[in-house]
Amino acid sequence: GQQVMQIPQYQHVQEGEDFTTYCNSSTTLSNIQWYKQRPGGHPVFLIQLVKSGEVKKQKRLTFQFGEAKKNSSLHITATQTTDVGTYFCADQAGTALIFGKGTTLSVSS
């Protein structure tokens, strides 16, 4: 079945460092949605990418969708302790979201 691979599984950074998580698929992705889940919380929608090569920014967060629509990335500039959590990418398969396993980010001050 359809699979969405996400790397790395874990990432620890010092506050102020940058962070990137990557999402890959062997098949063409329909559209990519990114979610953040804080420890003990639930996934919260961040953004949706639909077009090939699309780049969107939200303050310190930059989201990219690959030209071939087989990969996506989330980059956080100058991380803060409030960025801790697990970041998930998800492909839209009809009305279902196929999630990657997520990247858990920890930040030390």
Partner 1 sequence: KAGVTQTPRYLIKTRGQQVTLSCSPISGHRSVSWYQQTPGQGLQFLFEYFSETQRNKGNFPGRFSGRQFSNSRSEMNVSTLELGDSALYLCASSYMTGRETQYFGPGTRLLVL
Query: What does the binding site for partner 1 look like in residue numbers (CB under 8 A)?
Result: 1, 33, 35, 41-45, 48, 88, 90, 92, 94-102
Q: Which is nearer to partner 1, 20 or 104 (CB)?
A: 104
CB 95 within 8 A of CB 102: no
CB of 93 to partner 1, least distance (A): 8
CB of 58 to partner 1, least distance (A): 14
Q: Which is nearer to partner 1, 76 or 90 (CB)?
A: 90
DSSP assignments along 27-95, one per residue: S--S-EEEEEE-TTS--EEEEEE-STT-EEEETTEEEEE-TTSSEEEEEESS--GGG-EEEEEEEEETT
CB of 26 to partner 1, least distance (A): 18
